Structure 1
């Protein structure tokens, strides 16, 4: 890997970390950056998942105030996240490379459309606060968390979108606390999937390292951005870019 490629992957990681904090679509930047480095699709996805662990570390380390008082909730949700992440990793390892390459454009397109049609997170948080003023979680929340974690372990684009929407609507927490909860729970799903990949399949470590460094920095910067950024406009830009990427990957996969 050349020094220029190394720096480009660091920059892509920073952008992916910020994008993940704003819209839950970190893979929209990090995955194609790995493809552009010449890494095959499945290996790129595996490497991306391994690198994303540091994005979660950065985000969680910057979100400790928002996580205060959520210890019991995190214990209940962590088991579901770990099981779901492991199942998603197993599903990826069982998917033939050619099939995965054809599936990815649809997943990215679906994630982008979900981002476009989803209500703004602050609206979701307000709706959740009205519906659950006591902040008592429904019994099925760990099951729903586990289902999203399966997708997160498999590919992950928009897993953050779905998990944030879930937490905002059913916990009654505000955006900052819900986003911090999402960062930690989804980080656990990524971590167990990454551990399985490290043991069971090749990882492009020369690309994972610079990407992980950038993701850590982007993850650290993300929570303050979430608190202040004009999220609606940024989410639309990210979603439109995602649709363009999906079209490009579809042409490559089906052309």
Structure 2
């Protein structure tokens, strides 16, 4: 529960940071999720509220990158069903699996997210995209949607890795497409959570306001921010989150 003004400010600022990071790199959940845990939300409720609260920020970031989406309508039509179905399945898995399973899985997922953030530049330098539609890209985006619907950290990094290997285009256009698909996954998962799960609406409101601002910051200045700085922050927060969660 968010009971004090300081806790509210912490969640608001975490939402702003996540909105910025999600738009530029991905993995903003590694900031907001441990923040929600720190203010007293149970793990599953924190994950649900985090997903719902970051949806406006995802939309904000996607809108900020609308210029880079020109000419990608056909690609979006191809991949949107994969993200939609994956996000729904991931949300359902979060709700039907016991909370004990979530507590055991989340440190592993956070660790995976941290590793992907660290290896992101290396992956980008050592993979080669191919022209046309690689058939494996659709199921890979579906799998990323499942992961994002269950626990959204590093969903964007996973998508960027998939696009870097399988979609011939620039990184900025990959990032624009990533923002759209991530927003879609978060959106469909949020609909499921609102319908059947407990949502902390105070946390959602604070995250929503912060992430909308962060989405615009990310879209405006993100191209000029050193990626190594953002990755460093994510790694530190992720390691702290793993230690706190296990402890």
**Shared topology, TM-score over 0.5?**
yes
Could you report, residue by residue, the CA deviation over 1:120-166 in whole angstroms, capped at 9, with x for unpaired residues?
57636xx54xx43x4x2212322211111000000011111111111
SS in 2 for 1:118: helix
Alignment pair present for 1:207 and 2:203: yes
Q: Is the 8 A contact 1:120 1:232 kept in 2?
A: no
Distance (whole Å) between structure 1 residues aligned to residue 160 and residue 69 of structure 2: 14
Alignment pair present for 1:174 and 2:176: no
Distance (whole Å) between structure 2 residues aligned to residue 121 and residue 69 of structure 1: 25
Q: Is the 8 A contact 1:17 1:219 kept in 2?
A: yes
Distance (whole Å) between structure 1 residues aligned to residue 66 and residue 15 of structure 2: 22
Distance (whole Å) between structure 2 residues aligned to residue 88 and residue 141 of structure 1: 18
Alignment pair present for 1:148 and 2:144: yes
Instruction: Tell me the equivalent position of 2:62.
Output: 60
Alignment pair present for 1:89 and 2:107: no
Closer, same or farther: CA 4–236 of 1 in aligned 2, 3 Å: closer
Instruction: Tell me the equivalent position of 1:186.
Output: 182
Q: Is the 8 A contact 1:108 1:242 kept in 2?
A: yes
Deviation at 1:243, TM superposition (A): 1.8
SS in 1 for 2:11: helix
Residues 14-93 of structure 1 aligned to structure 2 (within 5 Å): 14-93=16-95
TM-score by length of 1: 0.90
Q: Is the 8 A contact 2:23 2:62 kept in 1?
A: no
Distance (whole Å) between structure 2 residues aligned to residue 244 and residue 109 of structure 1: 11
Distance (whole Å) between structure 2 residues aligned to residue 121 and residue 178 of structure 1: 14
Figure out how many residues of one structure are paired with residues of the other and give that number: 245
SS in 2 for 1:206: helix
Deviation at 1:245, TM superposition (A): 1.8
Closer, same or farther: CA 22–62 of 1 in aligned 2, 3 Å: closer
Task: State which of 134, 149, 163 in structure 2 corresponds to 1:138.
Answer: 134
Closer, same or farther: CA 6–233 of 1 in aligned 2, 3 Å: closer
Distance (whole Å) between structure 2 residues aligned to residue 19 and residue 222 of structure 1: 7
Deviation at 1:19, TM superposition (A): 2.1
Instruction: Tell me the equivalent position of 1:218.
Output: 214
Gaps of 5+ in 1: none
Residues 96-135 of structure 1 aligned to structure 2 (within 5 Å): 96-120=98-122, 123=125, 127-128=127-128, 131-132=129-130, 134=131
Closer, same or farther: CA 198–109 of 1 in aligned 2, 3 Å: same
Closer, same or farther: CA 137–46 of 1 in aligned 2, 3 Å: same
Instruction: Tell me the equivalent position of 1:6.
Output: 8
